[in-house]
Structure 1
Amino acid sequence: MKVFGRELKKALESVETGRDRRWIYVPYDQLSDSIGPLSEPTPRDLGIVLIESPAKAARRPYHKAKLFLILANQRRFALEQAERGVEVRYLVSEDGEGYAEPLRRAAKELGTLVHMEPAERELRHELEPLVKEGLLEAVPHEAWLTTPEDFTKGTGAEPPWRMDRFYRAVRRRTGILMDGKDFEGGQLSFDGDNRESWPGDPPAPEVPRFRPGDIEDEVAALIESRYSRHPGQLDPASLPTRKSQVDRLWQWALEECMEYFGPFEDAMAREEASLFHTRISPLLHLCRLLPRDVVKDVAELDAPIASREGFVRQVLGWREFVRHVHRATDGFRDLPDGTPRESKPKGDAGWKHWTGEAWENGADAGAAPSALGSARDLPPAYWGERSGLDCLDLSVARVLESGYGHHIERLMVLANLGTLLDLSPRQLTDWFWAAYVDAYDWVVEPNVLGMGTYGAGSVMTTKPYVSGSAYIDRMSDFCGACAFHPKKTCPITHLYWAFLARHAGELEGNQRIAMPLRSLQKRSEEKRAADARVFEHVTEVLGRGDSLTPEGVQDALDS
């Protein structure tokens, strides 16, 4: 930390010390001076405590890009605040410590610290004793756009909870994209219009790159030395760290992405990882961009309503909805009676391949609902071994390279295949948590345990989000260079039918999946037996880390 320490010391030279200040603890994901106690108009009356915890960074094999993004942004934020006149105490936890112990020491010196309630359950849980002891004072997190009351009024107090009901209620309450009492454009959602595949035109915008400075170079060197075993590649120029860079990325998103975001938000392309997606979710989750600002900017933008509404639905609707579900279920620990759970979740998601040892997280390895009883181990394909399925291999390679992938690759490739293979919902969730730069407990657990795998059953989703090869072929160009023909030899469609057959009992009575189940009943016994053989073949081959081949799948069909 020599470079950063020198820069911080220099920035603090003009900050008056020894005066009475209101001391604020700023967690790693609240890096904004426009919300909460830090937004008070007199910075010279404020002091902040920021903490780096090597133990937190090593708790899971987080992607190197994620560690870089958090640490570099936090260090830049410290400098920005010092330049405003805020006194900054930048602490590094001692070996094995998280955040509670350094905060305890700071509070004994500085007095009670105020902080906005953390977004992550994991951090809230760690800090609860300090709040009870009066060393920390918790105030509401002002980055959220909705309240628990909004959630209850929109969806009801008990599950099942549905996002569309919540979204409808908050659109009306906030007035966002409303014409008086009517929804702008005449309907709540344009989701049905936003399902076009991308033919290559209009051209996808080039994602901005950012010049790293000495601070970034120092953080990158730290990541490559201390966390060298962690997965992923690190490209500092792809990650904004200064507030000016963050704002530049957002302007790019508004000017270059938003016009076509709606129609192509579900499209996937081999040569374009993000197409017209804004790539701002990691910065929203760190509060480097604020949801209220991006929603306002998009609502007022001169762009098609389908694109504007599609973006607003993601931020005001889904993002807010999942955080409420996570809080209401205590991170899926509190679910309706009878929800099946895995008895012994490992919590390592196959990370031993990277770290040399399994993740050990004390007694709490995370909630492990498994409504369909799925419990198979994550195959090595999710950590970079080739599966032979181009859609899976390309999606995994992108994530391991950059920590990024947009929501349809996550849902309809990575989670879809995980669900079809009966993978453990907890293991797959842990993989997403480690692999993506924007993954935190409050967002990754609902998206994977809740939606991606149907692990929590109908608590927040109406059905398992599964498909055969036809969807992937329709919405992407992944299939063109794959060894498998999407209509003739691809095993994914057989996996789909085998999934429905295995879980027909659990899914019986679910009206959202009644039509596929009726189609299953019309499928011949011979085809259903072949589907089951393909499932066994695929799970066996991928389980040992080998690649699938058309010949091997055909042998399974013929046997």
Structure 2
Amino acid sequence: MCSHASGRLNRPSGPAPVTTLIPVLGDQLSRSLASLRGVDPADAVVLMMEVWDEATYVRHHKKKIALIFSAMRHFAEELRSAGWSVDYIPLDARGNTQSFTGEVVRAAKRHKAQAIRVVEGAEYRVRQMQDEWADRTGIDVEILIDDRFVCPLSDFYTWAQGRREHRMEYFYRDMRRRTGLLMREDGKPEGGQWNFDHDNRGTPPRGLNYPAPERFKPDAITQDVLALVEKRFAGHFGDLEPFGLPVTRKQALKSLKHFIATALPDFGQYQDAMVAGHDYLYHSSLSLCLNIGLLEPLEVCKAAEDAYKRGDAPINSVEGFIRQIIGWREYIRGMYWWDMPKFAERNALKATRPLPEFYWTGDTDLRCLSESVGQTKREAYAHHIQRLMVLGNFALVAGVDPQAVSDWFLVVYFDAYEWVELPNVVGMSQFADGGMIASKPYASSGAYIDRMSDYCGKCRYSVKQKTGPDACPFNALYWHFLARHEKRFAGNPRMGTMYATWRRMSEDKRAEYLASADAFLETLEPAKAGWAREGKTG
């Protein structure tokens, strides 16, 4: 009873119209959605659902819940204005079953639907639910490919099949050829090379005037949502207000235009930098718009490419930005589906330490961590180097359970959905996939953080000091990590220099590093149960 083709529904003969139920999920807020194409609005009902299960399967940041609910309500109004009949189920609606499946079953009965047409869920657990809908409703369910992504999963599987290594760089080059973005007529990459990452590691000088992202005053719809979230999700992590995130396509397009004009020119050079008190620097934060469907990847990339062609942004900025979207974003999605459901349980390094409490409170003397957690609490956002080389790096070298780390990342960021968050954290950040995504673990001492940020200057710990109670804990934890995983990584060609340095140290020096790390680890307070999932620590 369940079809996965993308053709039109078969309709019975006779004059009576078929009521097609079209569930639209909270990350499918696109007028170009496959389920809305080729359907007469007069013969269909769009179902949109605010359900407790989705808001609390992990206890999402309050700002993230407000973003999704507000964007959903605005999208429903947009569809109504375009002539669609929309059955919108608010969170507190009478009879709300608080689950996708429950609401689809109720709506199918309510509208006497004879067919259901839906775009596949982006997350594994949602896709599993959709496979049950035909049996639960007793009617045909057509599950359509989500063609808002640039690379169909079938094409990714073809690319991945039989490869010994699935490195993003090679996939990215194929995506450049597929899309033609930043490609010359002779088939060579614009600028003579594929990747300008070596030009994207600058430390910003003091006094730069960083452009603030576009922000929007909450309208009546958003204000109603803010009141709902404050009432129903008061115990969730994060600050709800001030709230100024884009919740409509019009606002998303304005955010894109603002980024291209004000931040893209310097995005490349300073994309890895971290500056206290400046949450966004030159980053776009457009991932929230992409991941709920208010923007589509190719239109965002084309806008950046057009800026390069006009001479308004340099190649290193534009290439680095485009690589994040058609390279990394598409690759991570492919790797997620390539390995699910095993991906969610991977723990190649056998890390078991509970997530420290300061990931939720920010209460730590490590300034890089307190700044990153504090920003995350305020904004539901931190940029990729804060996520990878501060928050992820600490969890990695401290040996924190990768599932607890993954749950935390899924909770706290407004752009976090399992398909993009889990492989980034379990694979890239924690190396728990054993190297399917990253060729080496992203572990570092305090020196990297000092080089790429201004956090260390006012930290209670000294980044220059290697061991002891006043030394930056990252320094000893880094060597502790290498020592406990020497058997696994000693033969890694990208880590040979570090292990050679470790072996040249005296026994006393190595023991001093290990003792210093152990002493610090003893001070870590485990997170209390229920922050991420009810009854689960971390």
1:319 aligns with 2:329: yes
Q: How does 1:475-554 map to 2 (within 5 A)?
A: 475-488=452-465, 489-543=471-525
Alpha-carbon offset, residue 387 of structure 1: 1.7
Counterpart pick for 1:415 among 392, 403, 414: 392
Unmatched runs of 5 consecutive residues or more in structure 1: 1-17, 334-366, 546-559
Task: Give the aligned residue type for 1:60.
Answer: V
1:26 pairs, out of 24, 27, 44, with: 24
Q: 1:374 aligns with which of 351, 362, 367?
A: 351
Aligned partners of 1:379 and 1:544 also within 8 Å: yes
SS in 2 for 1:375: coil
Contact 1:220 1:236 survives alignment (8 Å)? no
> Which secondary structure does the structure 2 equivalent of 1:48 belong to?
strand
2:468 alignment counterpart: none
Whether 2:61 is the aligned partner of 1:63: answer: yes
> CA offsets, 1:479-535, max 9 Å, x none?
111112211221211111111111101213211212211111112211211111121
Aligned match of 1:464:
441
Q: 1:75 to 1:95 in 2, by over 3 A?
A: closer
Change (3 A) 1:87 1:19: farther
Q: Distance in 2 between matches of 1:315 and 1:398?
A: 24
Per-residue displacement from partner, 1:420-457 (whole Å, max 9, x unpaired)?
A: 10001110000101111111110111000001000111
8 Å CA contact 1:331–1:445 kept in 2: the answer is no
C-alpha distance in 2, partners of 1:315/1:200?
Answer: 30
C-alpha displacement at 1:416, in angstroms?
0.1
The residue matched to 1:241 in structure 2 has which SS?
A: coil
Q: CA deviation at 1:150?
A: 3.4
Which piece of structure 1 moves more, 86-95 or 510-519?
Answer: 86-95
1:138 to 122, 143, 159: 143
Report if the CA contact (8 A) 1:131-1:138 is conserved: no
Q: Distance in 1 between matches of 2:233 and 2:164?
A: 41
What's the Cα RMSD here?
1.9
Q: 2:172 aligns with which of 167, 174, 177?
A: 167
Question: Aligned residue for 2:238?
Answer: 232
Alpha carbons 2:69, 2:225 under 8 Å: kept: yes
What's the CA shift for 1:144? 0.5
One-letter identity of the residue aligned with 2:282: F
Q: Identify the residue that residue 190 of structure 2 maps to in structure 1.
A: 184
- Report Cα offsets for 1:313-346 as digits up to 9, x if no partner: 000000000111110101434xxxxxxxxxxxxx
Between stretches 458-467 and 142-151, larger displacement belongs to: 142-151
Q: 1:48 Cα shift? A: 1.1
In the TM superposition, residue 156 of structure 1 has moved relative to its aligned partner by 3.6
Partner of 2:291: 285
Give the match's secondary structure for 1:47.
strand
Tell me the number of residue pairs that the alignment of Structure 1 and Structure 2 aligns: 495
- For the residues of structure 1 that align with 2:354 and 2:398, how far apart are their CA atoms? 10
Contact 1:498 1:531 in 2 (8 A): yes
2:104 match: 103
Contact 1:154/1:165, CA 8 A, preserved across alignment: no
Distance 1:471 1:75 in 2: 43
Aligned letter for 2:377?
Answer: L
Q: Does the CA contact (< 8 Å) of 2:355 and 2:526 recur in 1?
A: no
Taking a change above 3 Å as real, the CA distance of residues 45 and 203 of structure 1, as seen in their structure-2 partners, is farther
Partner Cα separation in structure 2 for residue 332 and residue 290 of structure 1: 29
Shift of residue 131 of structure 1? 4.4
Counterpart of 1:125 in structure 2 is 128
| Pairing 1:77–2:75 present | yes
Determine if contact 1:322/1:446 at 8 Å carries over to the other structure: yes
Identical-pair percentage: 36
User: Are residues 1:49 and 2:47 paired?
Assistant: yes
Structure 2 CA distance, aligned partners of 1:153 and 1:209?
A: 41
Unaligned runs of 5+ in 2: 1-15, 466-470, 528-538
- Give the stretch that moved more between structures: 415-424 or 146-155: 146-155
Q: Following the alignment from structure 2 to structure 1, what is the Cα–Cα distance between the partners of residues 103 and 198?
A: 50
Distance 1:37 1:152, change over 3 A: closer
- Offset of residue 51 of structure 1: 0.9
1:173 positional shift: 2.2
Q: By how many angstroms is 1:42 displaced?
A: 6.0
Aligned equivalents of 1:183, 1:88: Cα separation in 2: 46
| Cα distance between partner residues in 1 of 2:285 and 2:48 | 26
Offset at 1:149? 4.2
SS in structure 2 of the partner of residue 471 of structure 1: helix
